[in-house]
Structure formats: C-alpha cells, structure tokens
Amino acid sequence: MWKSDFGDAYTNRNLLSPEVIQQRKDSLAYILKGLPIVTIVEPGCNSGGNLKALQELGYEITGMEPNHFARRKAAELLDEPFIISDDSCYDINLPDDYADLVLTAGLLIHIPFKRLNEAITEMLRISKKYLLVVEYYSEQDIGIRYRGYNNMLWKRNWPEIFEQYSVTLIKSGYFDKSQGYDDCHWYLYQKQVSLL
C-alpha cells in the first residue's frame, strides 16, 4: 500500500516547509541535548524532514523508506552525505548496534499490532544505545479510519508496549503542532546493557 499511489499521496500531503523543519530541529535538539550521539537511523523517513533537521544539528543520518517517490523527495532535500535505502522496518539491512539512536516518528502508528513486535525488535537490534519514539498516544489501543481505510492507523499506549522490551525510559513529553509535530507524545528509551 505504501509503495503505491496511496504512499505517493501521503508524501505529497506531508512535505515539510522550512519553518516546520526548523520547529522539528528545535524539538529534536531539546530531546537529544547532551547525549553522546553521532549516528541516527530513521526507518520510515518518508520525504526526509526529520533527517534534514537532524543533519542540520550535525548528526550522521541514515533513512529507510519503501516508497520510491518519497525517497526521491528526501534525496532532493538532504545534503551529502546521507544514506536512504528502500529497506522495510521489518528487515533493515544494517548490522547490529549500527547507530547510536534509532528514531521512529509517525511510523509505528501505521504498523498492525501483529507485526509491531517485529518492527520494534528490528529497530532495537540496529540501535547501539537509544530509541526515540514520536507517535500518537492513547491509553487504549484505538484503530482510526484513515483516508477511507481501516487497519491503517492506530493510537497506542507506548509506555505499556515498551515495558516488554529491555529498555529504560529516560524522558518523555508531548509536542503540539507549534513544535513541528502533529500532537505527538515522545519517549526516549535507552537499551539496557546485557551482562552476558
């Protein structure tokens, strides 16, 4: 679905203005300030707005986006060097512990519950230390009809979901539209270090 005209239309609706990219840059800088982060990966990066904000903050960026049109828009937006692949969030062609932080922003809300663990596990696999989740929140799992389709968008209780993973919540908050995000809750998790 996301590789089709439906995905192209989504990309066109969600192209970010320079003002919104600046808002996201400020918001991400607030979250990441003082953390030992150099490399960041964003699965489902779409047209690259988050990556552009992170690039302007000085981070080394890698994105994954299955939609060809969105990848092209991201390539037009970003400055060299950057990597944008067509990898799926279920099968990321990167080694374990590849990036200091993995970002998911408006991606997990579109993942069916039966595949949510698959996507989260893969993101944690490639993260060396941190996972930043920026998504719609609801105390209960709620499916929302999206652009005439069912089973395409869900609001979820992310803190409850992440209790089953080996991560520690460092900090969390909420961004409204004036901060570059569409009324999203955010959660910064740190992977727990294995003693084995």
Coil vs helix vs strand at 144: coil
User: In the numeric block, which tokens belong to residue 49?
Assistant: 């707005």
pLDDT, mean of residues 180-194: 91
- The Cα 140–Cα 148 span in angstroms is 22
Statement: residue 26 has pLDDT above 90: yes
pLDDT in tens, 57-116: 999 999 999 999 999 999 999 999 888 999 999 999 999 999 999 999 999 999 999 999
Instruction: Please state the pTM of the whole predicted model.
Output: 0.93
Answer whether residue 41 is part of any domain. yes
18 sits in which H/E element: helix 18-32
Answer whether residue 131 is part of any domain. yes
Domain that holds residue 165: 5-191
Identify the residue whose tokens are 């069916």.
112
The domain that holds 28 is classified in CATH as 3.40.50.150
Answer whether residue 196 is part of any domain. no
Higher pLDDT, 196 or 86: 86
Sign of CA pseudo-dihedral 50, 53, 57, 58: positive
Answer whether residue 182 is part of any domain. yes
Cis? peptide before 81, omega within 30° of 0: yes
Answer whether residue 143 is part of any domain. yes
Question: How confident is the model at residue 161, as a pLDDT?
Answer: 97
Question: How confident is the model at residue 150, as a pLDDT?
Answer: 83
Answer whether residue 109 is part of any domain. yes
Provide the domain count of the chain: 1
- The Cα 89–Cα 68 span in angstroms is 15
Statement: residue 148 has pLDDT above 90: no
Statement: residue 195 has pLDDT above 70: no
Coil vs helix vs strand at 21: helix
pLDDT in tens, 157-181: 999 999 999 999 999 999 999 999 9
Contacts of 98 (CB under 8 A, 6+ apart): 39, 41, 62, 126, 127, 128
Burial class (CB in 10 A: 0-12, 13-18, 19+), 53: buried
Name the least confident of 2-16, 30-44, 90-104, 130-144. Answer: 2-16
Statement: residue 3 has pLDDT above 70: no
Answer whether residue 169 is part of any domain. yes
Q: What percent of the chain has pLDDT above 90?
A: 81
Contact 162, 185 (CB under 8 A): no
